[in-house]
Amino acid sequence: MKKWTLMLISAVMVTGLAACGSNNDTEKNASTGSSNKPAEEGTNAPAENTEPVKLRIYAQYADDDTKKPYDYAVAELKKEMPNVELELDVQAQDDGQKLKTYAATGNLPDIFQAGLDIINTLKKSGNILELDQYADKFGFKDKMQPSAMNTLVTEDGHIYAFPYAGNELALMFYNKELFEKNNVKVPTTYDELMTAVKAFNEKGITPLSLFAKEKWPTVALFDMFATRTEPAGITKLDKGEAKASDPAFKQAAEQIVTLVRAGLLPKGATNLNYDQAAALFHEGKAAMFVNGQWEIDASTKALGDKLAYMYIPAADAAAYESAKLNFSGGGGPGGYAVSSATKDPELAAKVAAFIAEKYAEYKYTERGTPIVATKVDKAIINKFPPTMEQLAKDIPSMKTTSFAWGLSNPKFKAAIEDASQNLMTGNYTAEQFVQDVDSAIEASK
């Protein structure tokens, strides 16, 4: 299964050696990462020396998707701050255990890559630096995609890491050719979706393929329907700010039950894995398919320009337009963080922000993904496929919710996963869904 894991992997940067300058100007330049360049020929300005600042960085460096953006960011850092040298300590694939050990033994580096789990752990122990003032000073907030601010600011309103990864998204892909050849309108309303389901079934085509053996895609499909009237979707339930009995969620469950009973999904959908469900879509046997945006590469290879994703149908045209940029999926705070024990907080923060920005820049321009946290104003080297171009246009203005694995309430997470999967069987009512999910929410209080 080509399931994408959303969690940002923790990485660490070790305590930097402060530059020892021969005068105050040298010390100032070391703290800001700037260098004293030799005087140009023909001028009377004296050349000044700056001793190098050496920093160790504990970072993911395993494949092209991590090596190439990291190498690019380091090369760009050398141009911007030539006196700063990074020593790479390759991150262990251990779910952050080595990083936690560094913190426990008082050996936490100056800069480290951290996901929300690490951020929360190190906040409690006082090992992570609050970066609010540096985000303002270096203009990092202004560089953020408006829709990705949730990857920068934590729930307590503070910043602890400079992100490079944007929000991952669940999309409803469709085969344009199948819709056109079978004279089926790409639906914008619930009634049109029901019409499409019936039309494709009459043609012997599966309306929507779903690998419902896994639970997260079923949660995503439910969330897609709920966000037509509640932009916060399942995150509102996760936080205990809403109930499944509220109109937006009850109606979403009712609509899915009705569609499933009308033949929305292939038979035995809850027994289908990714490979089986994807094959139906890639081979033109299914008109629609739900997966994360990482599916774009595989489906583009299979379908070419026939691939697109649709905005989720809503009650009517007005509701469709107002909710079309409400997307299921999301992310959380994470990126390059700074140790509270660093000798030069400003320099460490400046380097962390710079590496994050350039890492995202490479991913956008060279790796062909717009799923980055910061804006990129450089030309794209590897052109996006059409579906990715559409996504790149939508990202700045979209609103996102969460994937199932990003939910914070364990009891609710287990309940919504089980209940949403049961919805895909057609033998489970909306009333049962509401009761099961609300019971879990109540038990969490």
User: How sure is the predictor about 11, in pLDDT bands with cuts at 50, 70 and 90?
Assistant: very low
Please write the tens of the pLDDT for every residue from 130-167: 999 999 999 999 999 999 999 999 999 999 999 999 99
pTM here is: 0.83
Q: Residue 210 pLDDT > 90, yes or no?
A: yes
pLDDT at 398: 96
Averaged pLDDT for residues 28-34: 40
| Superfamily name and number for 12-36+52-167+331-377 | Periplasmic binding protein-like II (3.40.190.10)
pLDDT over 80 (residue 123): yes
Residue 83 — very low, low, confident or very high, per pLDDT cuts 50/70/90? very high
Question: Quick one: tokens of 268?
Answer: 């035995």
The pLDDT score that the predictor gives to residue 87 is 84
Q: How confident is the model at residue 56 (pLDDT cuts 50, 70, 90)?
A: confident
pLDDT for 82 equals 95
Instruction: State yes or no: pLDDT of 9 exceeds 70.
Output: no
pLDDT reading at 21 higher than 70: no
CATH of 169-328+406-443, one of 3.40.190.10, 3.50.50.60, 3.30.1200.10, 3.60.40.10: 3.40.190.10
Q: Is 59 exposed, middle or buried (0-12, 13-18, 19+ CB in 10 A)?
A: buried
* 12-36+52-167+331-377 and 169-328+406-443 agree in CATH topology: yes
| Angle, alpha carbons 311-317-322 (nearest 5°) | 60
For the chain, domain boundaries: 12-36+52-167+331-377, 169-328+406-443
Q: How confident is the model at residue 193 (pLDDT cuts 50, 70, 90)?
A: very high
pLDDT of the residue at 94: 81
Main-chain dihedrals φ then ψ at residue 222, nearest 5 degrees = -60, -45
Where do the DSSP E strands lie in 108-186?
111-114, 161-162, 168-175
Q: In the predicted model, what is the mean pLDDT of residues 212-226?
A: 98
Spatial distance between the Cα atoms of 191 and 313, rounded to a whole number of angstroms: 9
Q: How confident is the model at residue 29 (pLDDT cuts 50, 70, 90)?
A: very low
Report whether 310 contacts 186 (CB < 8 A): yes
